[in-house]
Structure 1
Amino acid sequence: MANGFDPAKGARLEPKIAELVARRDRALGPSYRLFYDEPVALASASGLELVGIDGRTYLDAYNNVPVIGHSHPAVTAAVSTQLQTLNTHTRYITESILDYSERLLGHFPAPLERVTYTCTGSEAIDLAVRIARHRTGRRGLIISEHAYHGTTVTAAGMSPSLGPNNPLGTDVVTIPSVDTAATPADQVGAKLAADVRAAAAQLEESGAGVAAVVLDSILSSDGVQTHPLGFLQPAEAVVRELGALWIADEVQPGFGRTGTWWGFERHGIVPDLVVLGKPMGNGMPIAAVVGTLDAQASFGAEVRYFNTFAGNPVSIAAATAVLDVIEGDELVSHAAAMGTRLLDGLQELVQSHESAQHARGAGLFAALDLGTPTSPDPELAARVVNGMRQSGVLISASGPAAASLKIRPPLPISSAQCDQIVETLDAVLMEVERAR
């Protein structure tokens, strides 16, 4: 696991932290993991700032779930009011879910016209796969080789980034991770399309056929691959030729993070199904599948789907507040502007640090590769991530080699906070490089 706490390394923890880790190990399931060599214990949060139990403040430059910032008063008020009024399920008629759905669909291109709610992104991925398999009559799924799509049996079986002891599902085939730093820009799209075609041939030969290609629209776990614009189009053309569906996982790039409402928009494609996750409710349990009627019609007519509290009025209230804030505060254009500032700063670090190799980003989703041009350095990335944590800025690492710094702050970040990320990273890189 990139950026994971390993107690076997013998880190010296503050007594209170050590006590909490011990209690956690006794009470919680053994599969849980913590971030950082020295885990962060939190007491409160507001905006982009997290406050530890020791009173120390951290700048959150990593958490995409509170998309409009931690503890946002608009979400707090909406949830509190609705919880005192009504909370039930979608087998009763409530007007708020219709109001929200119409607003949400208004941010999608016209063919994407129906929404089905779930509680988590993992459930939404699972549902999208069921719809695709029913629509096509085929079983095969094509994913990227370091993808993360969730934690249900189906979603985990499409998440090779969970590690070697997490087996892929039956009829799931991976394609090589896109590497836009090492591939000439004019070859990225063609290579991806060729890889999809080769995976499809493998699935056809097995008899599974291709039901869907499922890609995170920014390939986050594959190292955050943002450019060139349009590089997904040739692969989409292959999917159309195969009669399969394109499922866009927008849990991480969606809701304005990339400087556009949806990550797929940047590439000029229109998926058949789009998966949304907890950022749509700023962390409240709400997620969804948005899709074309053609993709969903046969599943809807022939299969009964019901998820007891998916789309409940309290979660819808939270999601409505998120839309209010994103629209009212113009956070999509703000993300684009702040992302340009952040990326400019990261590119300056590439010029000034020998170990910083390639910076890329789209809106407030950025990455910086560490190592040499031919040898990514996950150990260096881990040292930098932990150095940033010690300096009060929280980021993480990504990519097949875990050597790409992953920077993904909530959308209301200020220009001063963007500068703080870059300045802190500059200082940490200098310190780590001197120590080598």
Structure 2
Amino acid sequence: MCDKEQLSKKETIALRTKHIGPSCKLFFWSDPVKIIQAKGCYMYDEEGKRYLDCINNVCHVGHCHPHVVSAATKQMAVLNTNSRFLHDSLVLYAERLTATFPPKLNVCFFVNSGSEANDLAIRIAQAHTGNKDIITLDHAYHGHVISLIDISPYKFNHPGGEGQRDWVHVAPVPDSYRGKYTDKEYTTEELAEKYADDVKIFCEKANRQGGGVCAFFAESMQSCGGQIVYPPGYLRRVYKHVRAAGGVCVADEVQVGFGRVGSHLWAFQLQGDDIVPDIVTLGKPMGNGHPVSAVITTREIAESFGATGMEYFNTFGGNPVSAAIANAVMDVIENEKLMENATNVGNYLKEEFNKLKNKHVIIGDVRGHGMFLGVDLVKNRETREPATAEAAYVNKRLKEKFILLSNDGPYHNVLKFKSPLVFSVDDADELIQKLDEVLCEMEESENVIANIGKATQLTIGHAQSEMNGGANSIPLQV
């Protein structure tokens, strides 16, 4: 696995510090992992050490999948050019992709990233509705461009953010475990209704103030908010309120699409077969690490966008190589039955997480679908006080045991599982065994517990910075 001519880890860090912007973040900044090779669910560092990848929702069908690599190299050897030239691979892939959606979602715009897809979705929604105001969910993250920072509380409400714009309305995330309304007080149906009613209030406010409702913009399950699964019936109610107010409904599937939930190709389908967004955005998994993404919408909305008179083109979006890669990813999902694997292994892993919950009181909640799972760590199950420093410690120790996992949520206390879909039962057993070991050592070692107590003095921002990286990150004293 090692190449003697490659830079040492120290040299790589030095060059990165010298030439890469300090706001560009790394995982585990205080001791970053240098990866030189990867295959399937495994990543290898410069010393040949193997890490189990539980963090990578980019390499959706596995790192360096041979079928995807072959499709890329074969197409690149024949043609890659500006997307404004006519070629078959784009239209054939568009036909294949739209066939997986409800019939009315049959028009594609191809772009290069999830951020670009979400930015375009805003433009399309504005053109179609003639309105400006956008309703987003608290803790949401939709991308790194200016238009998306403006609708991402995960960014604008945190250090460096400029706060909430007057045309943005932040509805409570429908988190039944630690949200505004919880399962302690309400039934599932009541939770869906109460959270949807909050969106209705913002629809009324937007129309009353004159901006009008442009769009309700939400991930189909929220990732950065802590792996949140919405109560059944929530989107049905929300979509009704938004459309009645003159807006459109955008489903961000950048994190959760392409079969990650196992039972369905698209996560919005978890809310019911009759739930059909007006616009869907795709990203990360679409190209298995290659930059390709898309916006899917209706013919009516696409024509509204075209009626503005402004021509839309994207130099690289849907170019021949990108289209060939995206098509190959769909081949692998289908031929290797990865949705079935996501269901089977995801259910197994969820059961094992729940067994750990029965053993370790620090686990307050286990949630998710398929290979999109969250383990919510708490200091007290009754109060549900988040165990932020403990979650950072768990991830640090797992990395030392060659497991790559992350933590997120508004308190950064939720362990996030979002591996490539080729994750196996054996891989799940390795993760569970090592997580159990870490939780046991936390319970058994007075020194660890004492140091975690000191670490709780860190702010949430510092905990996030240590996980995501940055010059201002402060290592946990554990």
Does the TM-score normalized on the shorter chain lie above 0.5?
yes
Q: Which moved more, 1:300-309 or 1:67-76?
A: 300-309
**2:123 paired with 1:130:** yes
**2:337 paired with 1:334:** no
Q: Which moved more, 1:110-119 or 1:192-201?
A: 192-201
Deviations 1:236-268 (A, max 9, x none): 221122121110000011000011100100012
Residue aligned with 1:289, SS: strand
Determine the structure 1 residue equivalent to 2:321: 314
Identify which of 196, 200, 222 aligns with 2:199: 196
Identify which of 360, 375, 378 aligns with 1:353: 360
CA distance in 2, matches of 1:26, 1:80: 33
Q: How do 1:15-414 and structure 2 match up within 5 A?
A: 16-36=8-28, 37-162=30-155, 163-167=158-162, 168-169=164-165, 171-182=167-178, 183-184=182-183, 185-226=188-229, 228-259=231-262, 260-268=264-272, 269-302=275-308, 303-371=310-378, 372-373=380-381, 374=383, 375-414=385-424
Once the 2 structures are TM-superposed, how far is the Cα of residue 170 of structure 1 from its aligned partner? Answer: 5.1
What TM-score does the superposition give when structure 1 sets the normalisation length? Answer: 0.94
Determine the structure 2 residue equivalent to 1:3: none
Once the 2 structures are TM-superposed, how far is the Cα of residue 200 of structure 1 from its aligned partner? Answer: 2.1
Judged with a 3 Å threshold, the aligned counterparts in structure 2 of structure 1 residues 319 and 169 are, in CA distance, closer, same or farther, namely farther
Residue aligned with 2:361, SS: coil
CA distance in 2, matches of 1:284, 1:170: 36
Deviations 1:285-317 (A, max 9, x none): 110000111222111232311111100000111
Q: Is the 8 A contact 2:128 2:304 kept in 1?
A: yes
Determine the structure 2 residue equivalent to 1:9: none
Deviations 1:135-164 (A, max 9, x none): 111101111111110011111222221323
Q: Gapped runs of 5+ residues in structure 2? A: 1-6, 450-478
Q: Which moved more, 1:202-211 or 1:46-55?
A: 202-211
Residue aligned with 2:367, SS: strand
Q: Is the 8 A contact 2:175 2:230 kept in 1?
A: no
Q: Which moved more, 1:16-25 or 1:370-379?
A: 16-25
What TM-score does the superposition give when structure 2 sets the normalisation length? Answer: 0.86
CA distance in 2, matches of 1:309, 1:299: 20
Identity of aligned residues (%): 39
CA distance in 2, matches of 1:188, 1:74: 44
Moved segments of 4+, more than 4 Å:
none
Deviations 1:312-364 (A, max 9, x none): 00011110100000011111121111110010011111111011100011010
Q: Is the 8 A contact 1:154 1:169 kept in 2?
A: no
CA distance in 1, matches of 2:354, 2:306: 48
Determine the structure 1 residue equivalent to 2:428: 418
Deviations 1:342-399 (A, max 9, x none): 1001111111101110001101000010012321111111111111111111111121
Q: Gapped runs of 5+ residues in structure 1? A: 1-14
Once the 2 structures are TM-superposed, how far is the Cα of residue 18 of structure 1 from its aligned partner? Answer: 4.2
Once the 2 structures are TM-superposed, how far is the Cα of residue 410 of structure 1 from its aligned partner? Answer: 0.4
Q: CA RMSD in A?
A: 1.5
| Alignment-mate amino acid for residue 190 of structure 1 | E
Determine the structure 1 residue equivalent to 2:468: none
